[in-house]
Chains A and B, each alone.
Chain A
Amino acid sequence: MGTQNFLWNVAKKYFTFGIIGLTISDRYASILPVRGSSMSPTFNPHGGSLTDDYVLVEKLCLEKYKFSLGDVVVFRSPSDYKEKHIKRITALPGDWIRTPHSNDILTIPEGHCWVVGDNSASSLDSRSFGPIPLGLVQGRATHIVWPPQRMGKLDRKIELEGLGF
């Protein structure tokens, strides 16, 4: 009887901490690993190294969905909702973008954004699947937390080539 009570108490404690942890990771911030080299050299600069980079992803931006050019965001893939990708926003609603390999000018529709990987040679991004609705964004990466030699705040930088006006 005593052991049952003890186990029940331990289970309750774990359950409570689990719920609190889940809420914090959904609403405030969580730490996610970055896989692949589509964001080199910002993340995983030596593709195929033994450890992935870990980034701090903040979720407070999901209240207002107000992003700036150059933000690195985590979003659900438009072709498979179970996958999450991390790329940089290079155009916001209303901006004009010149599509690569053609001379078309594309306007980003309202509520959408254009995401591009820093390593444009090997990145599956808006150049393949078009602008993505902002509702797919799950958070914004603000800091690298691992490995220690590259720990620090992420900059908002964009290359000017390929941007509209």
Chain B
Amino acid sequence: MSFQQWSALLKEGFNATSFVATYLCFLHVTNTYLFTHAWVYGPSMLPTFSVTGNLVLAERVSTRLGKVGRGDVVLIRSPQNPRKVVTKRLVGMEGDTITYVVDPKNSDRRETIVVPKGHVWIEGDNIYATSDSRKFGPVPYGLLHGRVFCK
């Protein structure tokens, strides 16, 4: 092939690559700053979400602006495994006094705790089968990943 054909081919290749790269960057920005999707499964949020799985849409604006509130279902990076993002309900904000049942399957013992500054208290809807703040304590707000608004 002549030099002209090579350079035309390279130019087209470069254009296509840069188009794909820009599209991927656009996707990343939307996922990180606007909204993203997540696949929720497991028994910890019954009956809100089913065991076999729900596809949910979460928006990432309110967590960045500090506008999530009690009662929101949130995506949060697990404090026990930073590679996992789990879904729980936000039950307490900083400064709240939370009274919770420590181990509902075995006893009725309740404990009271004040959520420290910069932290939140999260609980799964299904308190019999969930590992949440009742087990690992209040979590820093910085771990919040998004707020679920649609399933």
Contact = CB atoms under 8 A, between A and B. Distances in A.
Interface of A: 16, 19-20, 22-23, 26-27, 64-65, 75-82, 109-112, 132-137
Contacts of B29: 19, 22-23
Given A16-B22, A23-B28, A111-B81, A133 B143 contact: yes
A82 to B, nearest CB: 8
Interface stretch (B3-11, B48-56, B100-108, B112-120): B112-120
A134 B95 CA distance: 24
A27 B28 contact: yes
Contact of A111 (B21, B78, B116): B78
Nearest to A82: B66
A78 B79 contact: no
Given A79-B116, A80-B118, A134 B22 contact: no
Bin the interface of chain B by size: 20 to 34
Interface string B110-147: 00000011110000000000000000100111111000
Contact of B140 (A27, A76, A110, A111): A76
A80 B79 CA distance: 16
Given A19-B26, A22-B29, A136-B143, 15 more contacts: A19-B25, A20-B25, A23-B29, A27-B28, A75-B142, A77-B142, A78-B118, A79-B117, A79-B119, A109-B136, A110-B81, A111-B80, A135-B82, A135-B142, A136-B140
Interface string B23-55: 011101100100000000000000000000000
Contacts, number: 71
B9 to A, nearest CB: 24
Nearest to A113: B82
Given A23-B25, A23-B29, A79-B117, A109 B141 contact: no
A135 B66 CA distance: 18
Nearest to A76: B142
A80 B142 CA distance: 8
Contacts of B116: 79
Nearest to B24: A23
B66 to A, nearest CB: 8
Contacts of A76: 140, 142
Contact of A77 (B81, B118, B143): B118
